[in-house]
Amino acid sequence: MNSDVHTIARETIEDLALKQKTPSWTKDLRLASWEAYLQTPFPTTRDENWRRTVIESLDLSTLKALEFAPSTSGADKSFPACFQSVIKHFSQANSTLSGICYQGNGRPGYIELSDEAKSKGVIFCDIETALANHADLLQPYLAKRNASKENGKFALLTGALFNCGLFLYVPKNVELKSPFVSGIGISTCANTSGDFGGAIFPRLIVVAEPESNVSLVHLTGSADTAGDNDCRSLPASLSASMVDVFVSDGANVSFVELSQFAQNVYAIGTVHNEVARDGKFTAVNVALGGKQVKSDIYTHLQAQGAASEILGIVLGSHDEHYSFNTIQEHNAPDTKSDINFRVALKDNASSVYQGVIKVDKCAQKTDAYQSNKNLLLGAGAKADSIPRLEILADDVKCSHGATVGPVDPEQLFYLASRGLPEKIAEELIVLGFFKKVLDKLTVDGAADWLVEAVSQKIDDSGYCA
Amino acid sequence: MTSREPILVIKDLHVAVEDKQILKGVNLTINKGEVHALMGRNGSGKSTLGYTLMGHPRYHITQGKVLFKGKDLSEMTADERARAGMYLAFQYPVAIPGVSVSNFLRASVKAVRGQDVPVKEFRKELKEHLTKLGVKEDFLSRYVNDGFSGGEKKRLEILQMALMKPQMALLDETDSGLDIDALKTVSAGITALAGPEMGILLITHYQRILNYVTPQFVHVMQDGQIVLSGSGELAHKLEAEGYDFVTKEPAVATQSRT
Ligand SMILES: Nc1ncnc2c1ncn2[C@@H]1O[C@H](COP(=O)(O)OP(=O)(O)O)[C@@H](O)[C@H]1O
Ligand SMILES: [Mg+2]
C-alpha cells in the first residue's frame, strides 16, 4: 500500500500519476524531477548549504511514502488538537474563514470554502484535486521549478512524489479579508510500522493574480505528538516540502506557517516566493520541532516596486537542529526586502542561519535589510549566523546584523527583583523576544495563536499533546 | 513613635564587583515605619548597596552581613527576597521588549502574592493606581520600559511597588529625571505607600525629593562607607553647603537609632 521511497522506480511514479485522475503531463513532470533527483548527489555536511545538518544518518530505504486521500467537504471534522486550535484562534479573530483544508495520512481529507471565496472564483483545494480539476491553470506554476536542480535532492524528490499539498488561486482584483487555513498532519509515531518511517512530500502552490489580496495560514507537523522525547527512538521519518508562491502585479499575500514535527522527523523545505511589480509578500515561518529542520527560502523580487517581509521564529529544544537559509534576490530596481529571524535554543539544540542578499546590476535603489538574533538558553545550545552579500548595483541600501548570546542577565535580575524565578523570567523574556517580531503580522489572530504555540513549547508541554 | 522593630540590619558590609571593592564596611539599621535617606556623590556606592540588598548576582559580599526580618539575606536569591518583601526601585529600570506592562505586572503580582489575582479585580486595582500616578491606561499594553521616558520609567517603578506592597523598599534615585509635577506625583505615591510596617531607604543625591517625602534619618555615603548620619535636618545642610563639608568632619560611625 505505502510505497518504499528508496526502491522507487519509474513504474512507481507512473503508477502514482495513473492512479490520480490527472492529465498525462503530470507523469512527465514527476519523471523529470525523478531523473534530476537521480543525477543529484545526496548532500553531505561539507556542502555549504547543509552545514551541521546531520543528513547522512537519514536512510531513505527505511521510509515509506504515506498515503493521503483527496479532500471532500462534509468529511470528518474531528481534527487533531493542534489544528483545532488554529481554527479556534482564527475563527475568533475573523467572522468566517475563507477556507479550511486538512490533510492527514490514513484519514479522509477535509475541505471547506466560504461562500464569498466561492462566488469570487477562488480555487482552494488539495493538490491532487487541483490536478484533476484545474490542470491547465495549475500546470505552468507547478512546472516552473518542479525539476530545477538548484533546489537540491529533497525538493526533487518532492517534485517526483508529491502526495499531499495545496493549490490556492486568487483571481484578479479579489480581496479576501479573512484567511485560508490549511493543515497537513502526519502521524509519525503511530503510523510507523516496524522498521519503516513515514515520508510525506507536500507541494504547495499559491497564485495571487494582479491586485488581489489574500492570506494563508498553514500548519504542518506531527499530529500525534509534539516536541517530546517519545518519538526519538522511533524510525526516522521525512517531510520534504516544496512551496511556490506567485504574487502578481499589485497583489498582496500574507503567509503564516507553523511547523512542529516530532523528534524523529527530518523536515526539509524549499520555498520560492516570486513577487511582481508593486506586489507585496509577507510571511512568518515558525519552526517548533523536528530532528533536523532545514528550510531554504528564496524571495525573488522580479519587478519595480516589489516588496517582501519575511519573519522567522525558531524555538529549539533537546537535540533538535535548525538550518534556515534565506536568499533575498533583488532582480529589479526599487525593490525592498526585509528579513527578521529570531531563534531561541534550549538544551542542546542548535541552529545555523545563512542569509544571502543578492542585488542584480540593474537593481538600483534596492533597500534590503536582514537581521538574525539568537538567544542561547541551554548550556549545550549553539547558534551560527552567516550573512552574505552579493551586490552588483552601486546605488543600494543594504544592512544586516546578527547577535548570538544568552538572555541578558540584567533583564533576568530585573524580573527576579519582581519575584519571578529564573525559569519563568526567562520564558517571559523569550516570548517577548518573539513578540517583537510577531507584532509585524497583520493577519488577525496570527500573533495570539503563535504566541500560544511558542509558550506551550517553552514550558515543554508540547503544542499538540 | 515607631515600634523600633528592626526590619533591615546591615553590619560591616563589604561588597566587591569583579574583585573591585566598592562597599567598605556599611552599618545601617532600619526599623519598621522609618524612612531613611541615603545621600552622597555619584560613584560613592549607593546603587551598589541597593543591588546588593536586592541580591544582584554580580555583587559579592566579602565581609559582614545583612539581616532582613531577622533572616540572613545571603541565603536568598533575588526572587526569594522579592517574595519575602524586599523591593528595589531601579535607578535605571531595565527594558523587556515584547513583554507588555500588564502581563509583566500580573506575573510578578502572582509570584509575590503567591496566587493568581482574578483578572477583573486586578484590572480594578491597576486602574486605581494608574489614576493616582497620572498615567493613561494604554501604558499597560506598552512593553516594559521599552521606549519609556524617564518619568514613565519611574512611575512604573512606583506602580510596581504599590502592587507588590513590600515591607522594605529601596528607592534608588526615583526622583532623578523628573520634572516638578512628576516629582510631586511620585512622591505622593511613595508617601501613600509608607506605613508603620514598612521601611524605606530613599537613595538620592539631591535634596529635592526630601521636600515631599520626609525622612527621619539621613546618611551620607562616601567611598563605600556611611561617613555621616543625622536627622532630617542634615539634608538641608547638605543642600546648602554641598558635600564638601562631609569630608572635613570626622566620620561618625553612628547607627540610625542614636
Ligand atoms: N557592575 C559594576 N562593575 C564595575 N564597577 C561598578 C559596578 N557597579 C558599580 N561600580 C563602581 O562602583 C562605584 C560605586 O558605584 P555606584 O554604586 O553606582 O555609585 P552611586 O550609586 O553612589 O552613584 C563606582 O566607582 C562604579 O564605577
Ligand atoms: Mg546610583
SS (H, E, C) chain B: CCCCCEEEEEEEEEEEECCEEEEEEEEEEEECCCEEEEECCCCCCHHHHHHHHHCCCCEEEEEEEEEECCEEHHHCCHHHHHHHCEEEECCCCCCEEEEEHHHHHHHHHHHHHCCCCCHHHHHHHHHHHHHHHCCCHHHHHCEECCCCCHHHHHHHHHHHHHHHCCCEEEEECCCCCCCHHHHHHHHHHHHHHCCCCCEEEEECCCCHHHHCCCCCEEEEEECCEEEEEEECHHHHHHHHHCCHHHHHCCCCCCCCCC
pLDDT in the model for residue B254:
45
Task: Tell how far CA A219 is from the center of its chain.
Answer: 8
- The residue contributing the CA closest to ligand 1 atom 25 is B43
A433, closest residue in chain B (CA to CA):
B98
Whether residue B50 has its Cβ less than 6 Å from ligand 1: no
pLDDT in the model for residue A21:
67
pLDDT tens for A9-60 read: 666 666 666 666 678 888 889 999 999 998 988 888 778 778 777 787 788 7
Pairing type for strands B59-68 and B6-17 reads: antiparallel
Give the whole-angstrom CA distance, residue A134 versus residue A122: 12
Give the whole-angstrom CA distance, residue B50 versus residue B244: 24
Where residue A359 falls among pLDDT bands split at 50, 70, 90?
very high
Whether residue B46 has its Cβ less than 6 Å from ligand 1: yes
Using the mean position of ligand 2's atoms as its centre, give its distance from the Cα of residue A55 in Å: 54
3-state DSSP assignment of residue A91: helix
Q: Closest Cα of chain A to B231: distance in Å? A: 30
- According to DSSP H, which parts of A40-152 are helical? 81-93, 115-119, 127-133, 135-146
Using the mean position of ligand 1's atoms as its centre, give its distance from the Cα of residue B95 in Å: 20
In angstroms, how far apart are the furthest CA atoms of chain B? 58
Where residue A80 falls among pLDDT bands split at 50, 70, 90?
confident
Mean pLDDT across the stretch A254-272? 94
| Ligand 1 pocket mutation, candidates B15, B17, B22, B202, criterion most atoms within 8 A of CB | B22
* ipTM (interface predicted TM): 0.94
A12-16, A140-144, A300-304, A442-446: range with lowest mean pLDDT: A12-16
3-state DSSP assignment of residue A70: coil
Alpha-carbon distances, residue A251 vs A169, A279, B254 (angstroms): 12, 5, 76
| CA contacts within 13 A on the Cβ side of A221 | 31
Nearest to B78 among A417, A429, A435 (CB): A417
Give the whole-angstrom CA distance, residue A410 versus residue A403: 17
DSSP state of A1: -
User: B23 CB contacts (<8 Å, ≥6 apart)?
Assistant: B13, B14, B15, B45, B48, B49, B52, B224, B225
CB contact under 8 A, A429 and B96: yes
Q: What is the pTM of this model?
A: 0.91
Interface residues from chain B to A (CB-CB < 8 Å): 54-58, 77-79, 81-83, 87-88, 90, 93-99, 103-104, 107-108, 111-112, 143, 160, 164
Using the mean position of ligand 1's atoms as its centre, give its distance from the Cα of residue A383 in Å: 33
- Using an 8 Å Cβ cutoff, are A306 and A333 in contact? no
Residues from chain A that touch B79, judged by Cβ atoms under 8 A, are 416-417, 419-422, 425
pLDDT tens for B3-53 read: 589 999 999 999 999 999 999 999 999 999 999 999 999 999 999 999 999
The rounded mean pLDDT for chain B is 90
pLDDT tens for B48-90 read: 999 999 999 999 999 999 999 999 999 899 999 999 999 999 9
CB contact under 8 A, B111 and A424: yes
Residue B61: all three cell numbers together? 559580599
Task: Count CB neighbours of B1 within 10 A.
Answer: 7
A118-132, A222-236, A367-381: range with lowest mean pLDDT: A222-236
Residue A221: all three cell numbers together? 507537523
Domain ranges (residues) in chain B: 6-96+150-245
Where residue A1 falls among pLDDT bands split at 50, 70, 90?
very low
What type of residue is A35?
Answer: E
In angstroms, how far apart are the furthest CA atoms of chain A? 69
Where residue A5 falls among pLDDT bands split at 50, 70, 90?
low
Share of chain B above pLDDT 70, in %: 94
User: Between A and B, how many CB-CB pairs are < 8 A?
Assistant: 81
Nearest to A418 among B57, B97, B108 (CB): B108
Task: Tell how far CA A227 is from the center of its chain.
Answer: 17
- The residue contributing the CA closest to ligand 1 atom 7 is B17
Domain ranges (residues) in chain A: 4-458
Nearest to A436 among B56, B94, B98 (CB): B98
Tell me the CATH number for domain B6-96+150-245. 3.40.50.300
Interface residues from chain A to B (CB-CB < 8 Å): 408-411, 413-422, 424-425, 428-429, 431-436, 439
Using the mean position of ligand 1's atoms as its centre, give its distance from the Cα of residue B253 in Å: 22
Q: What angle do CA B90, B93, B99 make, to 5 degrees?
A: 135
Which has the closest alpha carbon to B178: B151, B157, B206? B151
- The residue contributing the CA closest to ligand 1 atom 8 is B48
